[in-house]
Amino acid sequence: MSDFGDDDVGGGGDDVFEEEDVTEFFEPEVAEGDEDQDQLANGEDQDNIVVSGDPSAAANASRTDKSSRDKKIPDEERNTTPYMTKYERARILGTRALQISMNAPVLVDLEGETDPLQIAIKELREKKIPLIVRRYLPDGYYEDWTCEELLQFGHRIGSTAAMTNNERHAAEGDPLLPPRGLTNPFEADATNFSSVATATAAAAAHDHDHDDNADNRTTAQRLRIAIPCLLCFFCLVVGEALLTTPVLQIRENLICRATFPDLLPSGADLSRHPLCKSNRVQVELALVNGWELTFMLLPSILTGVSWGIAADRYGRTRILQLANLGVLLSLFWQLTVYSFPDVLPLRLVWLQGAFFLLGGGASTYMALLYTIASDISSEAYRATAILYLGTAFHTATLLGGPVTYFAMRRGARFAFGLGIGFYVLVLALTSVIPETRSDAAVRHARADALRDDADATKHAWWDIRPLVWDLVRQTRMVTRIIFLKNATLGILLFSTIFSSLGKAGDNLKQQYAAKRFGWTMAETSFLDSIKGTVSIILTAAILPAISQVLLAKFRLPPIIKDWWMAIGSLCMAVIGSACLTAAGSSGVFIASLVVQQLGGGYEFAFRSMTSEMVDSSHIAMLFTAHSVFQLASEAGAGPVLATVFRMGLDVGASESAKA
């Protein structure tokens, strides 16, 4: 009996039903090799294809009678936009991240990275994604684009935000491209859809952060930054030209009065006095000027890169203002020494280099102006923006001579004060330049600052260990980013030493022309006018036009375009230099000088090219490192070129003696 009063066997009198066999539904097994044949029907692995374009055509592609391969449009007849859209980028990253998570071969150096999405982003950044974007047209035909083809047309990798308005609308408003958030019909039924969707959502979120790096400024906003930047560059060069000549004159007069105090009348003009041209005066003047250059270069060389790193973290304009303030303080120190010659020896002007520890000096200032030009321009037009800075530089150099001449007619101290006024004007212009870093760079800098503050420990004011540690950390970072992570960039920066040596030889050209053709030094001054005119035409018209032709007609990627411009400039410089050495007449010499000056675009193309080899958050550090290499070259250029010039004179004298 059971607990319910019935027998356990037989139940409660209910009818007993026999269990029926359950009908199981099985998918027919796919014969071995059939699955592979379906995937390779078009000679391609479908897992490596990201579907885009018309969704209906993509969904019906597998149900059409016509072979899929017959509907492929040849590469030379493709008409859809050559830019990668945000949707396509997200789908590519999601698909590739899933492949990597399933142990697909990785095509980049992991550097300790384990997140599949971050690895996929790195592959995309280095243009090594092995996927094909298939864009279906409404009629069922499709175009295949490799990721590398789409990437090389974009002004910024994976971002349409950096395009012009027309290009962006063409890329994101094209009716052949799917709306944002559309699901790929081929992958909707896949068992791993959730994984792909998760990776795609993460990629889309990262894409939003990545777009903050792009320049979304309007034309008016760009001009608001570009015009003060150009004026700063112009005033800086004119101010430097105004200071060079009067400083030499003031120092010569002070040395002359200190050397011959009883032989010179007080208040007299000493610019043409024969005693001031004596060897005693000129030797002391050369000594003061020579060591001044050393004391001015050392602070910039030692602190330039550190200030560049600070500009990446705290903002361009802040460091610009500090650099300009340091230059102004050094000028006021010079003015103090010149105003009290009986109390302060002239050699105390060497101490002005200490003020360059604040901001890094004028070299840092120039580097940061190039950085601002890079910030407000896309990769495709960065070279043009930097070239226009070159135009401002050469225009100011050309006008600096006449301005200095007329200012010197009113006195050396008037010209010196006018030069200081230009630097004050530069400081005022700097205050109206807004911050140019991208939003992502600002957020990253704030996060780094907060992390450093959290990790910081208090030290006594006399404890230099934190300073030493920061210096070591910055040195490691610069070495890793510029030399270890990208050896090509390190080699290119090192080559700056040799290009700067050649630039430092400009003064010797005048000396060479005067000796070779019997000209006076005054007669050789017109060579500067020729070089300035050619340089202005080159940077304002010729090179920007060449840049646009290489981009629009030949469709070269920006970095390749800059590389060709740098190579072409070097070739012109080498040809012109070779012709200068063989010039037998003044006409050939001037023509050769023009050819050589056509290579003057090398520095600007070089800056644009190298800026594309680092992340946008390190451009200020890169340009200041470039300036440091230039300064180091200039520090040793004088003795080297003087020795080579003397050797050339000796060879020429021996050849003349043999003849």
Region 328-357: mean pLDDT is 93
For a pLDDT cut of 90, what percent of the chain falls above it?
24
Sign of dihedral through CA atoms 157, 158, 163, 166?
positive
Q: How confident is the model at residue 646 (pLDDT cuts 50, 70, 90)?
A: low
pLDDT value of position 132 = 87
Task: Give the pLDDT confidence of 125-138 residue by residue, as tens digits.
Answer: 877 888 888 888 87
**Does residue 453 carry a pLDDT above 90?**
no
For a pLDDT cut of 70, what percent of the chain falls above it?
71
Task: Give the pLDDT confidence of 263-282 residue by residue, as tens digits.
Answer: 777 766 677 778 887 888 88
* Token couple for 588: 């050939």
CA-nearest of 240, 95, 83 to 172 is: 83
* DSSP state at residue 156: B
**Does residue 363 carry a pLDDT above 70?**
yes
| Residues 219-441+540-638, CATH architecture | Up-down Bundle (1.20)
Q: Whole-angstrom Cα distance, residue 603 to residue 492?
A: 12
CA distance to 251, 338, 396, per residue, from 246 (Å): 8, 12, 18
Whether 34-211 shares its CATH topology with 219-441+540-638 is answered no
Are 84 and 146 within 8 A, CB to CB? no
**Does residue 313 carry a pLDDT above 60?**
yes
Task: Give the pLDDT confidence of 1-12 residue by residue, as tens digits.
Answer: 444 444 444 444
Region 309-330: mean pLDDT is 91
What are 608-612's contacts with CB under 8 Å, separation 24+?
608/374, 608/382, 608/383, 608/386, 608/558, 608/562, 609/383, 609/492, 609/559, 609/562, 609/563, 609/566, 610/489, 610/492, 610/493, 611/374, 611/382, 612/379, 612/382, 612/558, 612/559, 612/562
Cβ neighbors of 559 (< 8 A, separation 6 or more) are 379, 609, 612, 613
Task: Give the pLDDT confidence of 487-515 residue by residue, as tens digits.
Answer: 889 899 988 887 776 666 666 677 678 77
pLDDT value of position 446 = 66
Region 87-95: mean pLDDT is 85
Query: Lowest mean pLDDT: which of 12-26, 151-165, 311-325, 638-652?
Result: 151-165
Distance of CA 103 to the CA centre of its chain: 36
**Does residue 204 carry a pLDDT above 50?**
no
Query: Lowest mean pLDDT: which of 26-30, 106-110, 459-463?
Result: 26-30
Query: Lowest mean pLDDT: which of 335-344, 452-461, 534-543, 644-653?
Result: 452-461
Are 654 and 524 within 8 A, CB to CB? no
Q: How confident is the model at residue 656 (pLDDT cuts 50, 70, 90)?
A: low
* DSSP state at residue 134: E
- Domain 34-211 class in CATH: alpha beta
Are 107 and 123 within 8 A, CB to CB? yes
Query: Lowest mean pLDDT: which of 72-76, 149-153, 170-174, 336-340?
Result: 170-174
pLDDT value of position 159 = 39
pLDDT value of position 533 = 92
pLDDT value of position 282 = 83
The residues spanned by each domain of the chain are: 34-211, 219-441+540-638
Task: Give the pLDDT confidence of 415-447 residue by residue, as tens digits.
Answer: 999 999 999 999 999 999 988 887 666 666 666
